[in-house]
Chain A
Amino acid sequence: NAGVMQNPRHLVRRRGQEARLRCSPMKGHSHVYWYRQLPEEGLKFMVYLQKENIIDESGMPKERFSAEFPKEGPSILRIQQVVRGDSAAYFCASRGAPSNQPQHFGDGTRLSIL
């Protein structure tokens, strides 16, 4: 397994429930980015994390969304009290050092809100 792994691939939630999206970066990568993609649009940056630290969360909605990247285990994007507008594809990307290395993407989690 050399790539970025995201799970689940598809997630269905009812309005008001919580959604947890997981991302395991490529081996040796300690920088993780989350992006959201609406249908027929490009990806929009949400948050950038390094191990145990949030570096840039300027793209995260102010409420209901949170992200973490613990010392051990995958990065988690958590959406509380989901609404229909949260339906989208959520992609995780990772990169190694130095900072000019390309980001490598997972296959995404497609979140559908009923």
Chain B
Amino acid sequence: SQQGEEDPQALSIQEGENATMNCSYKTSINNLQWYRQNSGRGLVHLILIRSNEREKHSGRLRVTLDTSKKSSSLLITASRAADTASYFCATDAMEYGNKLVFGAGTILRVKS
């Protein structure tokens, strides 16, 4: 499988519940980023966590990084209908250029 695999592929929850998405990768990284994509739109940058960081918060978002397991998780607390979107993790690998390697994403649906 390719770098930056997310699971689950799809997640459906009720408004107010928490949503957790996971991402695994294969190679050493500089950092890992999470993006959101609404249908038909571009990607919105949510949060960047560096390889020497273990946890980061931004509003209702919490990201963890475990470099020993080569995995990351994105937690959205108290979800809202507006959080409905696709979520992608992207790794910035240890090579010149900082091109991002994306997984296939998790489709999150928050029902009101």
Task: Classify the interface of chain B: helix, strand, loop or mixed.
Answer: strand
Q: Within the complex, what minimum Cβ distance (angstroms) separates B46 from chain A?
A: 9
Q: Do A103 and B97 contact each other (CB < 8 Å), given the known contacts A42-B4, A42-B105, A44-B102?
A: no
A106 lies within 8 A of chain B by Cβ? yes
The verdict on A8 contacting chain B, using a C-beta distance below 8 Å, is: no
Tell me how many residues of A have a C-beta within 8 Å of chain B: 27
Q: Is B69 at the interface (CB under 8 A from chain A)?
A: no
Q: Bound state CA distance, A4 and B35, in angstroms?
A: 15
* Known A-B contacts A42-B88, A55-B97, A56-B97; A103 and B45 likewise in contact (beta carbons under 8 Å): yes
**Per-residue contact bits, chain A 58-84, to B (CB 8 Å; 1 contact, 0 not):** 010000000000000000000000000
B44: chain A residues at CB < 8 Å are 105
A43 to B105, CA, bound (A): 9
Q: Which residue of B lies closest to A42 (CB)?
A: B102
A69-114 contacts to B, CB under 8 A, are 91, 93, 95, 99-100, 102-108, 110
Q: B104 at the A/B interface (Cβ < 8 Å)?
A: yes
Binding site for A on B (CB under 8 A): 4, 30-31, 33, 35, 40-45, 48, 50, 88, 90, 92, 96-105
**A-B contact list, 10 entries, CB within 8 Å:** A33-B99, A33-B100, A41-B104, A42-B104, A44-B102, A48-B97, A93-B100, A104-B45, A107-B41, A108-B42
